[in-house]
């Protein structure tokens, strides 16, 4: 594989916690190791200076040691899950399913959190000078200015976040299910299409897409999450959580949803029902025992909540798992 894909992505490379585990032709598979789980990055060389990477992470948090000297422009698309990023001013923002982010990777080094413990998506990166030359050579019809796109979307090193653009999401949906036999040519075609879409996109019409939250607020919400998930037998109200955190209820609701992707009550119910499902199978508890363990004294309310989350009643779920 050409040296530019891995040798020119940054001054320090991907980092000491990332190791190559497989390589074939213009594809490499990298494994990120962390105490909370692991992640895999499958990287393809598309053109000289251009790479496409499938990201599949199942971990709670990790440390990114990757850094860039602004020679890289990256486009990230989130297919599933959630990932936290921090900007240069210390504000935090979150990518969720359907979001697109464009940045120069200048603020990529540091702690990375995955609030839902998983993230799946695609990154397309351009080593600017090398990529510009190779695109002109390989696709002379393509009027795409990599440096111009960087200035358009990331002035001053800032990131650009685009939420749920149907044209962009359609393009990436097609990239998630490409037969292996046609991947090289297909990646080239879709990379050119993406550059054309971004060239035509008016960034000013999407300036309200970014929403940042102070680190102090997101940290307090994470502390509440630890409290909630550590006391499944207790039913916390928003008012109680507000008193514990010192955050007004409206602010708490807003920040919690930003971090975890759903309202407080919905998240707590979902977490409890999934925990109850695990108790029914792995610990062999009765439905009544599992209900009490997750804070439900009323069997009918527990059954209704369980079915709303898991799609079946607790007893049906247990019977189905035992029959498998």
Phi, psi dihedral angles at 299 (to 5 degrees): -65, -40
Tens of pLDDT along the chain (324 residues) come to 444 455 544 333 566 788 899 999 999 999 988 878 999 999 999 999 999 999 999 998 887 766 555 578 999 999 999 999 887 677 889 999 999 999 987 765 667 899 999 999 999 999 988 999 999 999 999 988 999 999 999 888 788 999 878 999 999 999 999 999 999 999 999 999 999 999 999 888 876 566 889 999 999 999 999 999 999 999 999 999 999 999 999 999 999 999 999 999 999 999 999 999 999 998 888 999 999 999 999 999 999 999 999 999 999 998 877 665
Q: 């108790």: which residue's tokens?
A: 279
Measure the CA angle with vertex 162, ends 159 and 167; round to 5°: 140
Return d(Cα 294, Cα 237) in angstroms, integer.
15
| Helix or strand holding residue 200 (H, E) | helix 183-200
Q: What is the pLDDT of residue 145?
A: 92
Q: What is the pLDDT of residue 14?
A: 60
Q: What is the pLDDT of residue 78?
A: 96
Return d(Cα 252, Cα 221) in angstroms, integer.
7
Domains and their CATH numbers in the chain: 3-206 (2.60.120.10), 214-323 (1.10.10.60)
Measure the CA angle with vertex 127, ends 125 and 133; round to 5°: 120
Return d(Cα 37, Cα 314) in angstroms, integer.
29
| Helix or strand holding residue 225 (H, E) | helix 215-230
The Cβ of residue 182 has, within 10 Å, a number of other Cβ atoms equal to 10
């Amino acid at each position: 594989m050409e040296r530019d894909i891995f040798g020119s992505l940054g001054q320090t490379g991907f980092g000491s916690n990332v190791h190559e585990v497989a390589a074939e032709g213009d594809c490499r598979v990298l494994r990120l190791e962390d105490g909370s789980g692991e992640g895999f990055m499958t990287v393809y060389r598309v053109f000289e200076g251009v790479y496409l990477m499938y990201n599949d992470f199942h971990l709670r948090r990790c440390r990114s040691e990757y850094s860039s000297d602004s020679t890289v422009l990256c486009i990230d698309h989130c297919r599933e899950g959630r990932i936290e990023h921090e900007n240069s001013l210390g504000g935090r923002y979150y990518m969720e399913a359907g979001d697109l982010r464009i940045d120069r990777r200048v603020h990529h080094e540091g702690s990375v959190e995955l609030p839902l413990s998983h993230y799946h998506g695609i990154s397309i990166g351009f080593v600017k000078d090398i990529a510009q030359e190779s695109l002109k050579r390989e696709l002379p019809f393509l009027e795409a200015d990599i440096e111009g796109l960087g200035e358009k979307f990331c002035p001053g090193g800032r990131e650009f976040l685009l939420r749920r653009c149907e044209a962009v999401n359609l393009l990436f949906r097609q990239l998630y299910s490409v037969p292996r036999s046609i991947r090289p040519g297909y990646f080239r075609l879709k990379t050119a299409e993406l550059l054309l879409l971004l060239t035509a996109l008016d960034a000013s019409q999407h300036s309200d897409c970014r929403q940042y939250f102070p680190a102090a607020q997101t940290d307090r919400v994470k502390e509440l999450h630890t409290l909630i998930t550590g006391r499944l037998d207790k039913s916390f109200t928003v008012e109680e959580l507000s008193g514990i955190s010192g955050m007004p209820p409206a602010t708490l609701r807003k920040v919690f949803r930003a971090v975890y992707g759903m309202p407080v009550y919905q998240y707590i119910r979902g977490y409890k029902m999934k925990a109850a499902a695990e108790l029914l199978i792995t610990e062999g508890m009765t439905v009544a025992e599992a209900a009490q363990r997750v804070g439900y004294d009323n069997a009918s309310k527990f059954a209704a909540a369980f079915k709303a989350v898991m799609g079946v009643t607790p007893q049906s779920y247990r019977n189905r798992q035992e029959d498998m």
